[in-house]
Structure 1
Amino acid sequence: MSERILIAGCGDLGERVARLLLKQGDEVYALRRHPPGNNDAIRWVAADLASPETLTALPSSITQLAYMPAPQAREPEAYRAVYIDGLRNVLEALDAASLKRVLFVSSSGVYGEHGDAWVDEATPPAPPGFSGQVLWEAEQWLSNQPVETVVLRLAGLYGPGRLQLVDRIRAGQACAPHGQQHWANRMHVDDAAAAIVHLLALHDPQSVYVGVDNTPLPLDVLYDHLAALIGAPPVADGPAPAGIGSKRLSNARLRASGFELCWPDSRHGYAECLRS
């Protein structure tokens, strides 16, 4: 049976999700402040999640909501505007009687520092930065709403159009700690989109999933591998990115639900992106 799905905050990842949903016969609405002008099967909705007055004309009888906005700026107020206020606004604007499931795209940034330890859905969140703190607050609020909710905590995404790390390595602007192990976690953007579609369709899902590939890597191993792929020198020794924390993310629960990745190792995924 097809669903009537609203993707709230439909950027690059959301468009990939929309295409997959359309292929399986779902009716897809996509909300964005400034929708593209292309005329395709995606039914675009022009609205601002942080402005309730723009949400009064949302389509009726939405059965599933995929919530994946992007803040306008990397600052606490911008994050709260979309992840706290915007989430409340869109849920108040939708028909509660029709809405069966909300999938909230969160971040592995809610976990913080765990050194070499494996981290999964049972690991208590302890976000070190404001972004993870806001997302964790939104997760907790959503879990108390009278609708089935699924949270997908995504690791760092890469893929076509998402190769900023490679550009930084090529420009000699990246560094990584070589004497102290710091774990990097990645997921190909197409695998992330497929995971969202999988969880929207999953019968009796669990409330939280970690979205990451099968192969966490030490940061210097990943960076030096990418440098070799593009013929650049190994990256300089230096501190890991601030406010993220080292951890090895496990996707065991997601794989146990029946999901299969196309790109289980980011080294192969990056290599394919660079070839194409």
Structure 2
Amino acid sequence: MTVLIAGCGDLGTEVGLRFAQLGHRVVGLRRNASVLPAEIDGQSVDLSITKPVIPADTEFVVIAISAGSPTVTAYRAAYLDGLRNLLDAIDDAQVTPRRVLLVSSTAVFDVNDGSRVDEQTPANPKPGTDSIVLDAERMLHQRLPAATVLRLAGIYGPGRERLIKQVQNGAGLSAQSRHTNRIHRDDAAAAIVHLLLRTELPAPLYLGVDNAPVPANEVLTFLAAELGLPAPTVRESNEPTSNRESQRGGDKLLSNQLLRQTGFTFSYPSYREGYRALLSGRGTRHR
């Protein structure tokens, strides 16, 4: 039995390693497969222009593709052309995977009023790259109605230290702190493995986010304390703050209730456990 990972970046590689540890053969697709660890059989392929080779015994497919740049052109190439070539290749190989999961983004919710968002909340992405991500979800469900979409909040973890560096550089608080949502890379990978291997058929959609959607200022204040730095203060509008992340993600309270109802438990249920692990040097970011 083979697990096929389309898009073996940091997250996809972590997923592949977890499946390999469980005894599964893992095939990883990426532009340069030579950087993949030995536990993953790499296939170098640019999915935006080429159909990959699909192993005949493929049982699980994880689609964790990402765009090479934050442009509409790059997103179309990755999320639409890449997904179409992958699904066409699966059809051409006459392979019927038992389960298929697409990693998507909670950016498809353009919510800015601090309200609760769950799987029943209608997606309303901004025009541009966020709309393309939703188009990819729709393409997947049109082609494979039983497939699952996992919309992840902002991923943090090993090698993703931008917020820490901003605090170290003295960025201040925002006068209007919006709620931020996140998930540790390891929990995102664990959730993917969990949903694919559980006995019950997964739902069409889950939100992947930890238990603690909180104001951005709370996270910044926590990090400053953990780093032994003075508590950040509210800055004037023309001074640098770290609120750019929360502005990009809107202002919403993402719910992980449906994911937790499947029996999934978080290693890092909030930013506190996750950032403490990160500050202690735990984990490695995959190339």
TM-score, structure 2 normalization: 0.88
Residue in structure 1 matched with residue 39 of structure 2 by the alignment: 41
Which moves more between the two structures, 99-108 or 223-232? Answer: 223-232
In the alignment, the residues of structure 2 paired with residue 260 and residue 208 of structure 1 have an alpha-carbon distance, to the nearest angstrom, of 18
In the alignment, the residues of structure 1 paired with residue 34 and residue 134 of structure 2 have an alpha-carbon distance, to the nearest angstrom, of 31
CA contact (8 A) 2:206 2:258 kept: yes
In the alignment, the residues of structure 1 paired with residue 218 and residue 37 of structure 2 have an alpha-carbon distance, to the nearest angstrom, of 44
In the alignment, the residues of structure 1 paired with residue 110 and residue 37 of structure 2 have an alpha-carbon distance, to the nearest angstrom, of 42
In the alignment, the residues of structure 2 paired with residue 271 and residue 123 of structure 1 have an alpha-carbon distance, to the nearest angstrom, of 32
Residue in structure 2 matched with residue 61 of structure 1 by the alignment: 57
In the alignment, the residues of structure 1 paired with residue 177 and residue 52 of structure 2 have an alpha-carbon distance, to the nearest angstrom, of 50
Pick the aligned partner of 2:252 from 244, 247, 251.
247
Pick the aligned partner of 1:126 from 124, 127, 139.
124
Q: Give the Å deviation of 1:244.
A: 2.4
Q: Tell me if 1:220 matches 2:213.
A: no
SS of residue paired to 1:57? coil
| Long gaps (5+) in structure 1 | none
CA contact (8 A) 1:109 1:131 kept: no
Pick the aligned partner of 2:277 from 269, 272, 275.
272
CA contact (8 A) 1:154 1:210 kept: yes
SS of residue paired to 1:77? helix
CA contact (8 A) 2:80 2:136 kept: yes
CA contact (8 A) 1:169 1:235 kept: no
Q: Deviations over 1:43-79 (max 9, x none)?
A: 1111001012xx3534333222100112111111101
Pick the aligned partner of 2:104 from 98, 103, 106.
106
In the alignment, the residues of structure 2 paired with residue 170 and residue 71 of structure 1 have an alpha-carbon distance, to the nearest angstrom, of 29
Q: Tell me if 1:73 matches 2:69.
A: yes
Which moves more between the two structures, 152-161 or 223-232? Answer: 223-232
Q: Tell me if 1:261 matches 2:257.
A: no
Residue in structure 1 matched with residue 206 of structure 2 by the alignment: 209
SS of residue paired to 1:209? strand
Large movers: runs of 4+ above 4 Å: none
CA contact (8 A) 1:100 1:147 kept: no
SS of residue paired to 2:218? helix
Task: Name the aligned partner's letter for residue 215 of structure 2.
Answer: P
Which moves more between the two structures, 140-149 or 33-42? Answer: 33-42
Residue in structure 1 matched with residue 285 of structure 2 by the alignment: none
For residues 38 and 205 of structure 1, do their structure 2 counterparts lie closer, same or farther at Cα, with a shift above 3 Å needed?
A: closer
| Long gaps (5+) in structure 2 | 282-287
Q: Give the Å deviation of 1:181.
A: 4.1
SS of residue paired to 2:5? strand
For residues 262 and 39 of structure 1, do their structure 2 counterparts lie closer, same or farther at Cα, with a shift above 3 Å needed?
A: closer
Which moves more between the two structures, 150-159 or 30-39? Answer: 30-39
CA contact (8 A) 2:211 2:256 kept: yes
For residues 235 and 156 of structure 1, do their structure 2 counterparts lie closer, same or farther at Cα, with a shift above 3 Å needed?
A: farther
Task: Name the aligned partner's letter for residue 83 of structure 1.
Answer: Y
Task: Name the aligned partner's letter for residue 208 of structure 2.
Answer: G
CA contact (8 A) 1:45 1:58 kept: no
Residue in structure 1 matched with residue 284 of structure 2 by the alignment: none
Residue in structure 1 matched with residue 154 of structure 2 by the alignment: 156
For residues 224 and 129 of structure 1, do their structure 2 counterparts lie closer, same or farther at Cα, with a shift above 3 Å needed?
A: farther
> Percent of counterpart pairs with the same letter?
39
In the alignment, the residues of structure 2 paired with residue 24 and residue 70 of structure 1 have an alpha-carbon distance, to the nearest angstrom, of 26
For residues 45 and 273 of structure 1, do their structure 2 counterparts lie closer, same or farther at Cα, with a shift above 3 Å needed?
A: same
SS of residue paired to 2:47? coil
Q: Tell me if 1:93 matches 2:98.
A: no
TM-score, structure 1 normalization: 0.91
In the alignment, the residues of structure 1 paired with residue 94 and residue 250 of structure 2 have an alpha-carbon distance, to the nearest angstrom, of 38
